[in-house]
Each structure stands twice: as C-alpha cells, then as structure tokens.
Copies of this chain bind each other. A is one copy, B any other.
C-alpha cells in the first residue's frame, strides 16, 4: 500500500506520520511519499518522519520528492493538504475583510472565498495529474475550504472525498466527557463543511440512545467555552454548533475582537518557525507537544480511518465525510456537497454513502441553503474567474448580502490575491 501526501512539507505532517505509526494495524502503509515544492522544509519534515517511523519500529518507507507526477505514480490514495499562498495569503484573508466591517477568516466569509479562488485551480490540476499517474487512486482532500474543493473535484469526475477534523474532534471530546470509548460515540453530524450542528450524540451507533441532552446538562459550560459561544446558545438550540458557527451567531462581536488585536496568522507563522526549528533537531523522533497547538488535532486518526475504509483496511466504516448530497438533505441539490456520517466501503469502489440524517430544523436549514447557494457561485468564480463572478458570490453570502459591502470586498479580494489569480 502506497500513500502520497501533497503538501507533505507542511508542519502538520508529523501529526499524520505519528498516526500512521500508531495505527499501522488499521492502515498498513508500505510506502509513504511526501511531495512538496519547498525542498528545504520537505527534507526537514521527511527526515523527522523517518525518525518517527524508526522509533516506533514501523517498517514503512518514507520518501520525499518535489516531482508530483513521480510521487503519486502507483499511489493507492493521495492526501491533499496544501495551502496556496502560504501563511502570507492567510494573513491577508484574515485582514482585509475587516476593513469592510466583515469577519476576516480563512474559510468563512470573504476570506474563505479568496482561499477557494486560489485553491480550486491548483487542486484540480493536481487531481488531473493524479488521474493520469494513478487512475484508481482515491483523493482525500483536507485542503480548505473542503466543501468547495470537494465539490470541484467531484464535478470534474475525480474519485475524491473531503475530510475535516471538526467532527472527530467533537467525538473525542464528547467521549472523554461521557467517559466512553470514542468508537462508542456516534454523532448526528449534519450540514456543510464548517457549518455543521451535532443534532444528537448517540451511544454505540446511529440508532443508539441520544446522550446529547445529558451531555449539555452536565458539561454544557465546558463545551460552550471550547466553542467560544455563550452556553445559552447550546441549551436553547438543543444542539452543538461547530466552532465556525461563531462567525455567524456572534459575527459583530468577532469583528470587534479581531479589530482590537493583531491578526492570528502572525501567531501561526511564529509557531511554524518554531516547529521547523524543533524538527531540525536530529534527536527529535516524535511529534513535539507544540504541534498540538497548531490546530490539526485528530487529523491523522481521521485520515487513517478514511483511507483504511476506502482501501479495504481495518477500522470503522461509518465516518463523517464531505460528499455528494444525493438527497440526504432534501432541500439541497443532489450535487451539493454535504458533511455527514457516511458508510465508507472499499467494495464496489463507489465511495461514501451518506446515512440518513434527522430532519434539519428550519433554524439551521435556512442557513445551510443560503451558504450552499454561495458555494455554488463561489465554485463558478473559482472555475471561470472574473470580477463579476466574485462579486456575485460575495453578494450571495449570508455574512455579506449588501451591495456596497460586496463591492468593497471584491476590490480588496482581487487586490490582495493578484499573484494567485491569473485572470485578476
């Protein structure tokens, strides 16, 4: 079994490597190729990856390359974890929307659109090269915005699944609070990537007892604090919103907060420098503690689980993924990409099949419909370019919605992303 990681020089990668090492029984990786154009960083990360495998007596081969086509050749699955424009572009995404009084964030709102516009063409080009080099390989997309990127991949006919660590993070947290094994906690996780609500927390599986009311009663405060939402939101809605709902439910408060302090991207960039310095230490042979603050918790577990299920390895076959709606949420088009629990099986090679979900209350469904419409226009803008398509996508976004805001944001998005958008 051969896996390739595009963007393998990321500081996240040791998290993934650690997962491959720990979970070798679930996913017996024989060869792992780290692919990245940033040679220096790639070599640092590759060497650490080898030391981690060695320390854990993992026999898998870790190689590195800057040659995408060579790297993905013969791969069974290809993980995409790239960031077009790097932290510098992210800093922009977090900053210029504030000039218009809008939240600055790299996956939600106008910043998220900028990231989508930069990312979709690059990912589609990579996917095309994967298809040529290894036609049966699964593409697992961890690159944000996962919903739009996955929709782009699926529309172009690729064997692709979108993956995010929000659901697995909540599952692990709830399991800890409930004193259960993670595998015994099933989430009724419904919505779009970064726009989800846990409608139920079930013991054992989709038909198990709903533990959510008890969980909120006993641990509502801790869960709410973690999401930075008032506890009353959880109690009154009776569900657990994703952390990203904060950008909707507390939008103006977040804008005020962000306007009252410097961008967080600077912080991440500093952390990255520090991590790379640690990785360079030849004595280091495990993922450093600092990496936990980087934000990708449980990403490796999620990736291993998903790859294993797709490739016929061990582990659970019900997982939260991003895939075609196909009637799961009846008010959305079939070809919208939703984030829900799905059954993922290697046999048949047909990819994830969503499980039925509870009816989504209009309180959530209205927002999901609205954002789906935005994603449709965002993908159109990413595929075809042009100032007017960008403007329309922004006007369609529930956090924008106003004519002059959309204008101001469009101008800024284009001004700050010129080098990444050939048509701009």
Partner-B contacts on A (CB < 8 A):
95-96, 98-101, 104, 229-230, 232-233, 236, 248-253, 255-256, 258-262, 266, 331-333, 362-363, 365-367, 369-374, 376-377, 388, 391-392, 395-396, 398, 401-405, 407-408, 411-412, 415
Which of A96, A248, A253, A363 is most buried by chain B, counting CB atoms within 10 A of its CB?
A: A363
Chain B residues positioned under 8 Å from A233 (CB to CB)? 403
**Known: A99-B99, A374-B362, A408-B259. Is A401-B369 also a contact (CB below 8 A)?**
no
Candidates B249, B362, B373; contact of A402 at CB < 8 Å:
B249
**Known: A366-B373, A398-B398. Is A405-B99 also a contact (CB below 8 A)?**
no
Which of A258, A261, A370, A388 is most buried by chain B, counting CB atoms within 10 A of its CB?
A: A370
Candidates B100, B259, B332; contact of A259 at CB < 8 Å:
B100
Whether B408 and A261, one on each chain, are in contact in the complex, defined by CB atoms closer than 8 angstroms, is yes
Chain B residues positioned under 8 Å from A401 (CB to CB)? 248-249, 251, 367, 398
Bound-complex Cα distance A261 to B230 (A): 15
Copies of this chain per assembly: 4
**Known: A262-B412, A366-B372. Is A252-B402 also a contact (CB below 8 A)?**
yes
Bound-complex Cα distance A256 to B373 (A): 26
Chain B residues positioned under 8 Å from A372 (CB to CB)? 362, 366
Whether A404 and B363, one on each chain, are in contact in the complex, defined by CB atoms closer than 8 angstroms, is no
Whether A369 and B331, one on each chain, are in contact in the complex, defined by CB atoms closer than 8 angstroms, is yes
Candidates B101, B260, B331; contact of A404 at CB < 8 Å:
B260
Whether A404 and B262, one on each chain, are in contact in the complex, defined by CB atoms closer than 8 angstroms, is no
Chain B residues positioned under 8 Å from A408 (CB to CB)? 258-261
Q: How far is the CB of A310 from chain B (nearest CB, A)?
A: 31
**Known: A236-B391, A259-B99, A388-B236. Is A376-B402 also a contact (CB below 8 A)?**
no
Bound-complex Cα distance A229 to B96 (A): 26
Candidates B333, B369, B405; contact of A370 at CB < 8 Å:
B369
Whether A405 and B260, one on each chain, are in contact in the complex, defined by CB atoms closer than 8 angstroms, is yes
23 contacts across the A-B interface (CB closer than 8 A): A95-B99, A98-B99, A98-B100, A100-B260, A236-B388, A248-B402, A249-B403, A253-B256, A256-B256, A256-B404, A258-B408, A260-B404, A331-B332, A362-B396, A363-B377, A363-B396, A365-B369, A366-B370, A367-B396, A367-B401, A370-B370, A398-B398, A398-B401
Q: How far is the CB of A194 from chain B (nearest CB, A)?
A: 16
Chain B residues positioned under 8 Å from A101 (CB to CB)? 101, 255, 259
Q: How far is the CB of A238 from chain B (nearest CB, A)?
A: 10
